[in-house]
Amino acid sequence: MKTRNAIEWAMVHWRIVAALSLVAVVFGVHSLTSMPRQEFPQFTIRQGLVVAVMPGGTSREVEEEVTRKVENYLFSFEQVNKAKTYSYSRDGQMVVYVELKESVNGLEAPAFWARLRLGLNEFKSQQLPSQVAALVAVDDFGDTSALLLALTADGRSWQDIDL
């Protein structure tokens, strides 16, 4: 009994190979025509940070006087996913990692963050100690920038520098 390699098998059973190739081409053409094509596709980022600065405060003071109050305030919003929202406090600083529920769509998220920023300003002035210097919500993680690195050498062409 002779053993055949893949190329010989493909040449003998060329109809199967042609049928599989035709199916792949049809799926490729269908995908090409039906896939959405956008230069800047829309996506929803459901994460954000709430940061407070309390100069001179120990981690315990920050936890008791700021973090707990801010967490309770955040959990009053129905859009906040309580299971995935967490915080940490250290000397002079508090950071709460806020995650929104999956039901929040792309149009509701910016409105929520704007409403939260306004509410945090009022909350800071009314409920937090006067030692708290700043209370900020950050949600613009989708804005990215590109970095271009270039190599040059005096008296050399780019072919000479080719890596």
Predicted confidence (pLDDT) per residue in 87-129, tens digit: 999 999 999 999 999 988 878 888 999 999 999 999 999 999 9
Residue 16 and residue 57 share a domain: no
Residue 104 and residue 128 share a domain: yes
DSSP string, the chain: -----HHHHHHHTHHHHHHHHHHHHHHHHHHHHHS---SS------EEEEEEE-TT--HHHHIIIIIHHHHHHHTTSTTB-TTT-EEEEETTEEEEEEEB-TT--TTHHHHHHHHHHHHHHHHHHHHS-TT--EEEEE--TT-----------TT--HHHH--
Residue 60 and residue 132 share a domain: yes
User: For 12, phi and psi rounded to 5 degrees?
Assistant: -70, -40
Task: Lay out the sheet containing 47-53: strands in order across.
Answer: 86-90, 93-99, 47-53, 134-138
Give me the mean pLDDT over the 136-142 stretch: 82
158 vs 33, residue with greater confidence: 33
Give me the mean pLDDT over the 7-24 stretch: 94
Would residue 163 count as lying in a domain? no
Q: Which two tokens stand for residue 138?
A: 């950050």
User: Is the pTM above the cut of 0.75?
Assistant: no
Average pLDDT over the chain, rounded to an integer: 87
Structural domain span for residue 12 = 1-35
Would residue 40 count as lying in a domain? no
Residue 133 and residue 57 share a domain: yes
CA distance 44 to 139: 11
Please list the residues that pair with 124 across neighbouring strands: none
- CATH classification of the domain holding 65: 3.30.70.1430
